[in-house]
Chain A
């Protein structure tokens, strides 16, 4: 998980690296997987701007209210970005 990064700009744009898949997506929630588990991004009028499985790059826009890590098969690792 060394290269994995998530950055949120002014709660409007999120970019992430080392994303292995986008599991589900709606305008209120996006669930993605990475080597360490899952990332749940919630907000309003969410829109995925780009994703590439080969490069692992992901970016989305919207009114982001929370980004939550869910460890693989374990408890929730609370890393809240407001």
Chain B
């Protein structure tokens, strides 16, 4: 049966190319909101972190009605680090809108997600967004998209994908640049006409593939997915199985069934093949599971998700100031939270280590793990993390490491500096071309070569450079890469930093803290230009003798400390350092707090 009354569409694109703004405009123009309803600007970004960073992290479902056709719209993460989400969403839809910024053109994440969509044979609609930008390069971008499709072996049908020129912000779309759009009708029409309705067997035995998971305190775990065959009713007895785990066959019952209407989950009695539904009642349901009728247990194929490439160790905070800010500080709390994250994030992996207090957490990049750290921190957790490390592989007895494809877009005058950095970080130039007054360079570089490069890149290009990377493949180990050439200024006394002490310390390097900050022995309070660590005493007060008076303190001028964000701290910490994360503070510390023990350990290391 042809589900002509339904289209399932995903919007995929690069970071900040306007995906969620366009979905907002589509929702508003399809009257999903009442006219007098005040709508926050980015409707689909529901969590604070996404709003602050202006990026989509979790794929969300919504639906629009247009001329009697229900269009299920799935917004997908734009970050290469969250592409585990993108792969799952591909299983729920029949077509994709490939969104490209009219000025930036196709970038790494666009390449990665389009490749996933093409591999699954989906029909594409090219949406060139932000055509209202003054620096829009409309014709060049269209050619670049065609080149990308050719490079990714798109089929003839995919090469002939329609192009819709949009401005998500203004809510307009047009198929012909000479006729400016007035609303998004051309986009809705193109979706209806170009994305084929799903051929669905609504009579056969039920089969539903779970592509997403959510959690709700009242109904417990919620599975989200598309019905691949037959129909599903509320209260129906089912069996859960999995394509990759033949042993899994657990009976259960669909207690609640919901369909998505606009942004809400509306309870329904029954849903048919092709519908995207949410259901509860199966406590152990997981991503990739298939829910079947008991008389026909047949798991549905699930797309292979690329593995994580970066790992960090999360451990209980055992610093001197532990337990002051956080609500959840014990290993049990941290463990439960990390394993709960696994349910929703299919590209994350958590393993227990030899010690009961630490866990090995693997993700798809620094950004992926820093978002998890930030979320846990805001929820009141307190813990420590190690420096990010890449996950090596042993293939035929040889050490392999993950490589990333990096695209860099810089003004011409900074090309040399970028080239220099890439040489030091074992990057290999693949492609270089002039794009207007800027130059675009494409490198293949070891993932560990990118650690700490973002801030160096922004400094060397004076903030005008744009860089994006995505996982490429595993290649033989490329040899030693010098990670950090600077050392740390380490406090060797516990107390409160005072102006007098800081004044002496700032002569040795850049300070991260100001006067009045509580410090402990072993805490890193600055960066020293030399490659060794320097112990400083920032709690040293001036001895008030009859020749000195306290008033002369006012002459001491302190340089403004460098406030480090979470990402900058993760880039900065070395192998012998940890990052102490609490709801109110982020502190860098040495693994060995005691300065003498640390000196002995370093001497022993030099001997080996």
Contacts and interface: CB of A to CB of B under 8 A. Distances in A.
A3 B432 CA distance: 21
A52 B412 CA distance: 18
B419 A50 contact: no
A24 B428 CA distance: 11
Q: Is the contact region of chain A dominated by helix, strand, or loop, or is it mixed?
A: strand
A13 interface: no
A17 to B, nearest CB: 15
Interface string A40-82: 0000000111111110000000000000000000000000000
B196 interface: no
A52 B431 contact: yes
A26 B416 contact: yes
Nearest to B434: A49
Contacts of A49: 433-434
B439 interface: yes
A38 to B, nearest CB: 15
B415 interface: yes
B419 A25 contact: yes
Interface string B196-232: 0000000000000000000000000000000000000
B433 A25 contact: no
A51 B432 contact: yes
Q: Is the contact region of chain B dominated by helix, strand, or loop, or is it mixed?
A: strand
A8 interface: no
A24 B434 contact: no
Nearest to A61: B434
A25 B416 contact: yes
Contact of A21 (B429, B433, B439): B429
B431 A27 contact: no
Contacts of A53: 428-431
Interface string B447-477: 0000000000000000000000000000000
Contacts of A52: 430-432
B429 A51 contact: yes
A22 interface: yes
A42 to B, nearest CB: 14
Interface string B412-427: 1001100110010000
A25 B415 contact: yes
A53 B439 CA distance: 16
A59 to B, nearest CB: 10
A1 B582 CA distance: 61
A24 B429 contact: no
A24 B429 CA distance: 10
A11 to B, nearest CB: 20
B415 A24 contact: no
Contact of B432 (A24, A26, A27, A50): A50
Among B416, B423, B432, B439, residue most surrounded by chain A Cβ atoms (within 10 Å): B432
Interface of A: 21-27, 47-54
Interface of B: 412, 415-416, 419-420, 423, 428-434, 439
Given A22-B432, A53-B429, 10 more contacts: A21-B428, A23-B423, A24-B419, A26-B416, A26-B419, A47-B439, A48-B432, A51-B429, A51-B432, A52-B432
